[in-house]
Amino acid sequence: MDIKKLKLALLFLGLTLNCHSQTISATDIVKRADDKMRGEKSSYSVMSMKIVRPTWERTISFKSWGKGTEMSLVYITGPAKDKGQSFLKIKNEMWSWNPSVNRTIKLPTSMLSQGWMGSDFTNDDLLNQRSIMVDYNHELVGEEVVSGEHCHKINLIPKPDAPVVWGKIVMWISKKHEIVFKTEYYDEDKYLVKSEIGKNLKEMDGRFLLTEFELIPAEGEGKTIITIDEIRFNIPIEDSFFSQQNMIRIR
């Protein structure tokens, strides 16, 4: 091999090794998307949730605070009959507060699969924020275009004995924006239960995010739409904010 060909071969090898070293894992991709949506340290958001059924519709508004993957607090602001309810999650434990009965109730694991506030989102979807990083193994299975975005397709398979609802989750995460454009949820027998589609890309608090999420059950009629009206990231929140006492005081 002459000198010129040797230099070209070495250059190609160097580029190949460099590209390989920069390859990120499926877990890294999921974590980046999770951090971008949740905030690397904390977040505060104002949202609304529209539940659509064949014969009726209802809209619930709420505020949400989160810190890391271990703590979250949700406060219902409307409608009037639901206002004041709150939900707290610390690590693996979750509670609800209902002012109409003046009681704090600890949510057992069996309630994780129940619909949150009568919606298609489960308690696990809305409150158990640490789960996708802690309770699942992540596998990059391909690339697909979703809503015009080139996305990584990643399977999330629950770890043995993980306290989760889903038998498998599939995510499509945008390469450009590092956010989840589509999610599919499967039961333990690997049957599709529901699909979540992200829409309405906007810049909010310095980062581009999807601000509308439509959850569609695989069977039955209706859907649930969550809209983000305001969101702020990495704001100072003390750990003491996430307490059963604050569930009652929060406004």
% residues pLDDT > 70 (the chain): 89
pLDDT, tens only, 7-56 = 444 444 444 434 333 578 999 999 999 999 989 999 999 999 999 999 99
The count of other CB atoms within 10 Å of the CB of residue 152 is 21
Q: How far apart are CA 236 and CA 227, in angstroms?
A: 24
Q: How far apart are CA 238 and CA 128, in angstroms?
A: 20
pLDDT, tens only, 10-20 = 444 444 434 33
Residue 151 bridge partners (DSSP):
144, 174
Under the banding of pLDDT at 50, 70 and 90, the label for residue 185 is: very high
**The domain made up of 42-249 is a member of CATH 2.50.20.10:** yes
Q: What is the pLDDT of residue 127?
A: 63
pLDDT, tens only, 122-132 = 877 766 556 78
Q: How far apart are CA 242 and CA 251, in angstroms?
A: 13
pLDDT, tens only, 56-78 = 999 999 999 999 888 999 999 99
Q: What is the pLDDT of residue 183?
A: 97
Question: In this structure, are residues 96 and 104 in contact, taking their beta carbons and an 8 Å threshold?
Answer: yes
The model's pTM is 0.84
Under the banding of pLDDT at 50, 70 and 90, the label for residue 164 is: confident
Find, among 194, 200, 164, the residue nearest to 179 by Cα: 200
Q: How far apart are CA 214 and CA 225, in angstroms?
A: 4
Q: What is the pLDDT of residue 23?
A: 75
